[in-house]
A and B are shown apart, each in its own frame.
Chain A
Amino acid sequence: MTSVQDPSLTVPTPPKGDRGGNVSIARNLGLVIALVILCVVAVASAGDRFASTDNVLTILRYSAVVGVVSIGMTFVITGGGIDLSVGAIVALASVWATTTGTQAMADNIGWIAMVFSAVLVGTACGAINGLLIAYGKIVPFIATLAMLASARGLAELIADRKTQIIRNQGFTDFFGAEPLGIPVIVIIFAVVVVAGWFLLNRTTFGRRTFAVGGNPEAARLAGIKVQRHTVYLYALLGMTCGIAAVMLMSRTTTGSSTHGTGLELDVIAAVVIGGTLLSGGRGTVIGTLFGVLILTTLSNVFTLNNLSTSTQAVAKGVIIVVAVLLQQRIANRKT
Chain B
Amino acid sequence: MPPTARPLLEMRGIVKEFPGVRALDGVDLVVRAGEVHCLLGQNGAGKSTLIKVLAGAHGVDEGTILWDGEPIVFADPQAALATGIATIYQELDLVDGLSVADNVFLGHERARGGITRDADMNRRARELLATLGHSEIRPTREVGSLSAAGKQIVSMARALSRQARVIVMDEPSAVLDPDEVDGLFRVVDDLRASGTAIIYISHRLEEIRRIGDRLTVLKDGATVAGDLSAKDTPTSELITLMTGRTVSSVFPRRSGSVPDAPPLLSVDSLGRTGEFADVSFDLRPGEIVGLAGLVGAGRSEIVETIYGARRASSGTVTVDGRQLRNGSVDAAVKAGLGLCPEERKSQGLILDDAVYRNISLASIDRFARYGVSGEAAERSAAHEAARSVDVRPDAPDRIIRTLSGGNQQKAVLARWLLRSCKVLLLDEPTRGVDVGARAEIYTLIRQLADSGVALLIVSSDIEEVLGLSDRILVIADGSVVHDGPSDAIDAGGVLDRILATHDHQKEDVA
Contact = CB atoms under 8 A, between A and B. Distances in A.
A204 B97 contact: no
A2 B190 CA distance: 8
Contacts of B115: 202-204
B116 interface: yes
A104 to B, nearest CB: 38
A20 B140 contact: yes
B131 interface: yes
B448 interface: no
A44 to B, nearest CB: 39
Given A11-B134, A18-B142, A215 B76 contact: no
B327 interface: no
B468 interface: no
Interface size on B, as a range, is: 35 or more
Interface stretch (B179-187, B242-250, B252-260, B388-396): B179-187
Contacts of B133: 2-6, 9
Interface string A322-335: 00000000000011
A210 interface: yes
A210 B130 contact: no
B14 to A, nearest CB: 19
Interface stretch (B99-107, B267-275, B312-320): B99-107
B186 A2 contact: yes
A219 interface: yes
Interface in B57-92: 57, 76-78, 81, 87, 89, 92
Contacts of A19: 99, 140, 142
Contact of A11 (B106, B111, B137): B137
Contacts of A13: 136
Contacts of B502: 8
| Residue from the set A12, A206, A211, A281 with the largest chain B CB neighbour count within 10 Å | A211
B87 A221 contact: yes
B149 interface: yes
Nearest to A9: B183
A129 B228 CA distance: 53
B102 to A, nearest CB: 5
Nearest to B193: A1
Interface string B6-44: 000000000000000000000000000000000000000
B95 interface: yes
B403 interface: no
Interface string A217-249: 111111110000000000000000000000000
Given A6-B133, A9-B149, A223-B78, A20 B99 contact: yes
Contacts of B87: 221
A19 B103 CA distance: 12
Interface size on A, as a range, is: 35 or more
Given A9-B180, A219-B95, A20 B101 contact: yes
B130 A3 contact: yes
Contact of A218 (B78, B94, B194): B94
B179 A6 contact: yes
| Residue from the set B55, B78, B100, B107 with the largest chain A CB neighbour count within 10 Å | B107
Contact of B116 (A6, A204, A213): A204
A211 B98 contact: yes
Given A17-B138, A210-B98, A211-B106, A11 B150 contact: yes
Contacts of B140: 17-20
Contacts of A220: 57, 77
Contacts of A335: 144-145
B310 to A, nearest CB: 16
A11 B107 contact: no
B102 A1 contact: no
A206 to B, nearest CB: 8
Nearest to B78: A223
Nearest to A7: B506
A218 to B, nearest CB: 4
Contact of B141 (A18, A21, A221, A281): A18
Interface in A180-224: 202-208, 210-211, 213-215, 217-224
B96 interface: yes
A152 interface: no
A215 B95 contact: yes
B219 to A, nearest CB: 26
A218 B130 contact: no
Contact of B106 (A9, A17, A224, A281): A224
Contacts of B77: 220-223
B330 interface: no
B466 interface: no
B98 A223 contact: no
Given A9-B149, A222-B107, 20 more contacts: A1-B131, A2-B133, A3-B130, A3-B133, A4-B186, A14-B142, A17-B141, A18-B141, A20-B99, A204-B109, A204-B111, A204-B114, A207-B102, A219-B107, A221-B77, A222-B81, A223-B108, A281-B96, A282-B97, A334-B145
9 contacts: A1-B190, A3-B133, A3-B135, A14-B141, A210-B95, A215-B95, A218-B92, A220-B77, A335-B145
Interface of B: 55, 57, 76-78, 81, 87, 89, 92-103, 106-109, 111, 114-116, 118, 130-131, 133-138, 140-147, 149-150, 153, 158, 177, 179-180, 182-183, 186, 190, 194, 502
